[in-house]
């Protein structure tokens, strides 16, 4: 294992113009307000309101003012009562709109679930037709072209193109095959060609689609730690203001000016942070929804929040930084070895290698040097493992091995072979320095001794603009680490071209896990992408583990996010969505607390100017009467919730910047704006309210 730090952890790099745009707002239609209105009325249930302390206080106040308006009716009391009910309703509407978008997505997903017949393979090799609902974990089913995959599972035999558009929205078919990290299939998708055998890995009702439906509907959404902490703060502020308002009543009576309970309730509602209390749930739901819009399924809101706070990002080289289609492109024989001998040995050593790289070696030899692609009769295969980092074949008294250079060199020494020729080491180094991956081929004879036959060169290409994307992450203060099983020379060349901060070479699953734990022990949050079974431990350990939908079931179970498009670089967008969620919540909290200031100037002088005439100087908005001032503040308090629903759902626009700059912008826009806008809004509303008989 090698961990190299060739670059500074952070830099002042600025995102290039060619870099992807920052996370933009999701689609919002005013029509959604109308269609979500029935759901808002259903949420008036006190049992639902009790989950939100701030809005529960508003609900109780609405009930009390309603009773008082009935007992002692007046225009003032009915106006206050009506707008208090609107405040509760608008808060419910924000949550209902956020949930409504998820329910629309869930409705389309339910169309994927359909009753199908499955061809279950029995132990004796025969096939029986059963209902898809009768399948159990561990069953093996045969699926041919034109048939629907009856359940979630892994391909254990065959290769086929699969239409996953019902899940991912992508019309282009994808390839699913056995023996690699692209073996997972999802129930409800359609096989377009060939034949595969699928081993069922999820019970009915617990499939990937079932979980997607529950998550996008919000049924399984739990409050995140930050959300819980903010709820505690809001509840504490509500209790403080409740005690303060309750104390005003006796104080007014003692001073000889008893206060109308309706005014006291209006004062309480305007003092407590109703704006953020009303929008808090919608912000959390919308954050997960924005990921769904990008075809990323978050298993928990905690993962979305953590994505906004990560410090270290681990990314696989193959398929993430490079295109991932490493293929054998050349053979470099050792001195004294015929090219044909190397080709034959490379083919035999790769027959048991089910990876795309192993298959490409067999194809290269078959195309350029002859030889079939079938397994050798009577041979014993030695499969590739992350520990040995070799694969091969034992046949006719010979042991043929192919793998990482250091592993093969060690194996040759253990078999009593001679020292490795300098020319072979030079070939390994030259291939690595060029950014390729060298695989060494060796053979050991039964008579004793082993020798290196040569080097197979695998080539890969770094994705265009990947350096700009890493510069974008660096501007966010995120350190990037490339993880690869390649040797340090190859890793160094790719890392330099891609522009990552660090790289971990010759990485085993244990090495990945150890690196993540070291980062976390240093107080840093870690994100990682992966698709293979050997990535599962690290995905489970990472604070944000994004599994590829094309990957194995074990990887998807271990991660707390699944990328339906299987694009590992999308983790950059996940980070931006997480940061956008945190910024949106902070911005609206700032705005909510700031706009309370204007309400103080509207209500307090109106309530006490008769008792203390000096307070009239605080009526800087020159509101018409105490009654119109209180009604105007209550109306503004309700309307601002509706005005902020689109922002809560779309999110505050995020651009990479330092924390101090983001805080400064947040205070300037939402702090100052939260102070100024209520003065203007309440004054304009008062111009209308004063025209109502009894208010002027």
Beta bridge partners of 117: 131
Distance CA 149, CA 132 (A): 9
To the query of whether residue 316 is one of the catalytic residues in this protein, the response is yes
Residue 73 near residue 253 (C-beta atoms within 8 A) = no
Q: How many CA atoms lie within 13 A of 450 on its CB side?
A: 23
The answer on whether 227 is annotated among ligand-binding residues is: no
Query: Tokens in use for 289?
Result: 């929804």
Per the DSSP assignment, residues forming a β-bridge with 128 are: 120
DSSP 3-state helix, strand, coil percentages of the chain (rounded to 5)?
Answer: 50, 15, 30
Does 402 carry a binding-site annotation?
yes
Burial of residue 301 (number of CB atoms within 10 Å: 0-12, 13-18, 19+): buried
On whether 24 is known to bind a ligand per the annotation, the reply is: no
- Contact (Cβ atoms closer than 8 angstroms) between residue 601 and residue 618: yes
* Pairwise CA distance, residues 605 & 616, whole Å: 6
Was 535 annotated as part of a binding site? yes
Q: Does 387 belong to an annotated binding site?
A: yes
- What CA–CA distance (Å, rounded) separates 242 from 284? 27
Out of 316, 394, 543, 567, pick the active-site residue. Answer: 316
Residue 389 annotated in ligand binding: yes
Residue 25 to residue 110: CA distance in whole angstroms:
26
Q: 581: closest CA among 365, 217, 377, 301?
A: 301
Does 391 carry a binding-site annotation? Answer: yes
The encoded tokens of residue 617 equal: 């100087």
Residue 692, Cβ density class (10 Å: 0-12 exposed, 13-18 middle, ≥19 buried): middle
Q: Tell me: is residue 278 an annotated ligand-binding position.
A: no
* Concatenated DSSP letters of 314-348: EEEIIIIIB-S--EEEEEEEPTT--HHHHHHHHHH
Give the total residue count for the chain: 696
What lies within 8 Å, CB to CB, of 280 at 6+ separation is: 52, 227, 230, 231, 234, 585
Among 473, 515, 518, CA closest to 498: 473
3-state secondary structure of 177: strand
421 in a labelled binding site: no
For residues 265 and 60, the answer to whether their CB atoms sit within 8 Å is no
The H or E element containing residue 384 is: none
- 388 annotated ligand-binding residue: yes
Give dist(CA 526, CA 543) in Å, integer.
5
The annotation places the binding site for ATP at: 353, 357, 384-391, 402
- Binding site members: 353, 357, 384-391, 402, 531, 535
Feature table: binding site for Mg(2+): 531, 535
Query: What are the residue numbers of the active site?
Result: 316
């Amino acid at each position: 294992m090698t961990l190299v730090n060739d670059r500074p952890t952070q830099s002042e790099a600025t995102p290039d113009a060619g870099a992807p745009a920052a996370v933009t707002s999701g689609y919002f239609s005013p029509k959604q307000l109308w269609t979500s209105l029935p759901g808002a009325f259903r949420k008036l249930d006190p049992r639902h309101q009790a989950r939100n302390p701030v809005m529960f206080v508003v609900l109780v106040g609405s009930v009390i003012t309603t009773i008082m308006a009935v007992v002692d009716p007046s225009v003032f009391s009915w106006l206050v009562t009506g707008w208090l009910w609107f405040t509760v309703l608008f808060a419910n509407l924000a949550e209902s709109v956020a949930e409504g978008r998820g329910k629309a997505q869930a409705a389309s997903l339910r169309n994927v679930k359909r009753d199908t017949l499955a061809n279950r393979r029995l132990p004796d090799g025969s096939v029986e037709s059963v209902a898809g609902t009768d399948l159990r974990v561990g069953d093996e089913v045969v699926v041919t072209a034109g048939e629907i995959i009856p359940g979630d599972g892994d391909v254990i035999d065959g290769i086929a193109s699969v239409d996953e558009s019902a899940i991912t929205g992508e019309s282009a078919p994808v390839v699913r095959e056995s023996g690699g990290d692209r073996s997972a299939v999802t129930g409800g998708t359609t096989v377009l060609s060939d034949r595969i055998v699928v081993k069922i890995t999820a019970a009915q009702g617990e499939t990937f689609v079932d979980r997607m439906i529950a998550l996008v509907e919000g049924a399984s959404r739990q409050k995140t730690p930050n959300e819980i902490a903010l709820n505690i703060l809001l509840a504490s502020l509500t209790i403080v203001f409740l005690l303060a308002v309750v104390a005003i009543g006796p104080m007014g009576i003692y001073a000889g000016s008893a206060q109308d309970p309706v005014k006291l309730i209006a004062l309480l509602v305007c003092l407590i942070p109703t704006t953020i209390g009303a929008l808090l749930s919608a912000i959390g739901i919308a954050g997960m929804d924005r990921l769904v819009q990008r075809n990323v399924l978050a298993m928990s809101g905690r993962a979305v929040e953590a994505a906004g706070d990560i410090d270290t990002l681990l990314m696989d080289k193959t398929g993430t930084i490079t295109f991932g289609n490493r293929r054998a492109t050349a053979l470099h024989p050792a001195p004294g070895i015929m090219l044909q001998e190397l080709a034959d040995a490379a083919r035999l050593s790769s027959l048991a290698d089910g990876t795309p790289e192993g298959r490409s070696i067999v194809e290269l030899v078959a195309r350029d040097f002859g030889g079939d692609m079938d397994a050798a009769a009577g041979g014993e295969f030695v499969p590739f493992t992350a520990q040995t980092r070799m694969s091969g074949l034992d046949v006719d008294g010979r042991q043929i091995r192919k793998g990482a250079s250091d592993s093969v060199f060690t194996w040759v020494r253990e078999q009593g072979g001679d020292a490795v020729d300098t020319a072979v080491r030079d070939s390994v180094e030259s291939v690595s320095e060029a950014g390729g991956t060298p695989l060494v081929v060796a053979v050991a004879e039964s008579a004793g001794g082993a020798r290196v036959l040569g080097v197979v060169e695998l080539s890969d290409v770094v994705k265009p603009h990947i350096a700009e994307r890493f510069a974008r992450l660096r501007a966010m203060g995120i350190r990037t680490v490339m993880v690869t099983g390649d040797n340090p020379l190859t890793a160094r060349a790719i890392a330099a071209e891609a522009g990552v901060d660090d790289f971990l070479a010759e990485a085993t699953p244990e090495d990945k896990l150890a690196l993540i734990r070291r980062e976390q022990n240093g107080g840093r949050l870690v994100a990682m992408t992966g698709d293979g079974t050997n990535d599962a431990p690290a995905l489970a350990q990472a604070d944000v583990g994004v599994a590829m939908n094309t990957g194995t079931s074990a990887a998807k179970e271990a991660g707390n996010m699944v990328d339906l498009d299987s694009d590992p670089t999308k983790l950059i967008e996940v980070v931006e969505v997480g940061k956008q969620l945190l910024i949106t919540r902070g911005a609206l909290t700032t705005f909510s607390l700031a706009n309370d200031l204007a309400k103080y100037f509207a209500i307090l002088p109106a309530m006490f100017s008769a008792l203390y005439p000096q307070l009239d100087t605080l009526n800087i908005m020159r509101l018409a009467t105490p009654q119109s001032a209180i009604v105007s503040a209550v109306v503004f308090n309700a309307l601002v919730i509706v005005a902020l629903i689109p922002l809560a759902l779309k999110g505050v626009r995020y651009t990479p910047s330092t924390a101090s700059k983001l805080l400064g912008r947040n205070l300037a826009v939402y702090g100052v704006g939260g102070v100024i806008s209520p003065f203007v809004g309440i004054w304009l509303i008062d111009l209308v309210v004063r025209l109502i008989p009894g208010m002027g």
